[in-house]
Structure 1
């Protein structure tokens, strides 16, 4: 009798039968199974026994391998992405989550799976490429600082991590919803971070990762002569802003105040500025000549060959929900963040100040 399908067997039986001009009833009778059993085999709902598979191949004058072949292991995950999208995968509780590997950065990262097809609203089927054990030791890290990509690439064999781009409040919200293991934030550091974690992610551990030089990213050579925050009052400057909840948006608001803009004027400037979803995207807008100035870190300006005017040294912290502290990927991430190799690499990027390790400790809000 047919056995329950494993989900890994690809069946071409119906196509072969129809090409041979055979009805399901006649083929089922010849190989000694019911019409219903043959239908389950053709639909992938059941796997035939070895004897039935051999009889089907003989009846259709082909090899068994032409009727049945092993496919890739598959998973169904929450994601809205087209077929062919390469993804990184990680288990979060009872469900596996997927992170698309898009853009130029995605070409340099190995994929854990490839989207095969939609599987309902907001869900897709993914062909699994990585060993299933890799999913259990992979941490998802949300945040907007480009150095997170550098950090996620520094983990050893003990664990893995994948960067999920999000603004600071979006990263915290994703952690609170159980979509990521770690949230990165730069909203002022210290008390500001402890307060927002107490509201959004109570009980999470807070770890100082680094400090990053924030400022204005400008066209190469600074043709408009921008010197600092007061220049943001100039109406000839085409600006890039960030979404509410992003650290760059908060910094830009602070610099607007320095420039003497009222609350209404600040809102108007944001409304007529281009919106970027990450520091690197903001830098790209300036590099393409679509804007004159954007808030962001020195590293993003350097990546796009822009002039940078430093204005603020910002703290970047990692918030880890208590239930994820023992996760192998999280442990490997925190260890890598303190490693000499990573800290030397971080300094080489420019605009980053590693934390004083003698003063840094795991702090639980």
Structure 2
């Protein structure tokens, strides 16, 4: 039962919905829960929580841009009041599709996406504010992905790393590549205007690791300090002429007109979760989804992803 006082704190809402406080803030930010401020404090009305429970969580279809006739959509589950919810951090479309499948799986649950980069996602996992984190962090010393970073950023907590897909990272350039940009060495050309990703995301780590290998001072790159928070935004900046090139995944190049993609490095995009959670029904549902033909077929239809190892546990740390 909810208390008679109609004003609830984010902590109280988190306890009612059996989710993390971080998820409550994300729901408010996305407009899923109306809220108001008293000074610096956020308050949420009891009636709005009740309305949210009645309506169920909004479909992720709008986020992914996908559409499906209503008669072909799988039936959405009606969750009990205390149904569990998983917070999944990461920025790839794969995670949006995973969330949608999770919400219709017989053993699934509500799924809440937190659009955080690889470092931020691992930190949320470490602090207990997230259940899973999608990451793509390259270690140039060992030429491997993710494992060294998980050991450093989530110390003392046994984790499982599950492979999602191989992706291609490369440069976005204008159609026809008029400036003849070919590879990492072009970062040193002072006349070229670069646009960067924010610190802590996998793409920024990839860039900085290559700069370290090349012994190239990052401050000498024209535009290194100019940052954007998504692959699509960077590709769009290049298409508009605000930058000459940028580093990102191939998917965004397919989505933005006037962009050509120069492949540079294949990367592993993987999912990290606490090992102690793996036996729980909702996490077993995730494993079943990743192994399913329906999930893989949907990803294959999007292009850019190599799915040979999807769903495979590649490491335990």
TM-score, reference length from structure 1: 0.65
**2:140 aligned with 1:207:** no
CA separation in 1, counterparts of 2:152 and 2:276? 17
**2:97 aligned with 1:150:** yes
Structure of higher RCO (CA pairs closer than 8 Å, 6+ residues apart): 2
**2:9 aligned with 1:76:** yes
**Corresponding residue for 2:263?**
310
Q: 1:284 to 1:210 in 2, by over 3 A?
A: same
Aligned partners of 2:195 and 2:224 also within 8 Å: no
CA separation in 2, counterparts of 1:325 and 1:97? 24
CA separation in 2, counterparts of 1:119 and 1:165? 27
2:242 to 281, 286, 290: 290
2:298 to 307, 324, 345: 345
Aligned partners of 1:76 and 1:119 also within 8 Å: no
CA separation in 1, counterparts of 2:308 and 2:28? 30
**2:229 aligned with 1:277:** yes
SS in 1 for 2:313: coil
Aligned partners of 2:171 and 2:261 also within 8 Å: yes
Aligned partners of 2:166 and 2:305 also within 8 Å: yes
Deviation at 1:287, TM superposition (A): 3.1
Aligned partners of 2:168 and 2:263 also within 8 Å: yes
Deviation track 1:312-355 (CA, whole Å, cap 9, x = no partner) reads 11001111023443455443333222221221221222221113
Deviation at 1:213, TM superposition (A): 0.9
CA separation in 1, counterparts of 2:275 and 2:38? 32
Q: 1:204 to 1:6 in 2, by over 3 A?
A: same
Deviation track 1:167-207 (CA, whole Å, cap 9, x = no partner) reads 11111011112221101110128955222222222211111
**Corresponding residue for 1:6?**
4
Q: 1:198 to 1:252 in 2, by over 3 A?
A: closer
**2:178 aligned with 1:223:** yes
Q: 1:364 to 1:245 in 2, by over 3 A?
A: same
CA separation in 2, counterparts of 1:329 and 1:147? 18
Gaps of 5+ in 1: 9-73, 79-88
**Corresponding residue for 2:118?**
168
Q: 1:191 to 1:232 in 2, by over 3 A?
A: closer
Aligned partners of 2:85 and 2:109 also within 8 Å: yes
2:138 to 170, 184, 188: 188
TM-score, reference length from structure 2: 0.74
Q: State the number of aligned residues.
A: 275
CA separation in 1, counterparts of 2:81 and 2:314? 26
SS in 1 for 2:227: strand
Aligned partners of 2:231 and 2:248 also within 8 Å: yes
Deviation at 1:94, TM superposition (A): 8.4
**Corresponding residue for 1:130?**
53
**Corresponding residue for 2:24?**
97
**Corresponding residue for 2:70?**
none
Deviation track 1:223-260 (CA, whole Å, cap 9, x = no partner) reads 323222222222222111122322111222344467x5
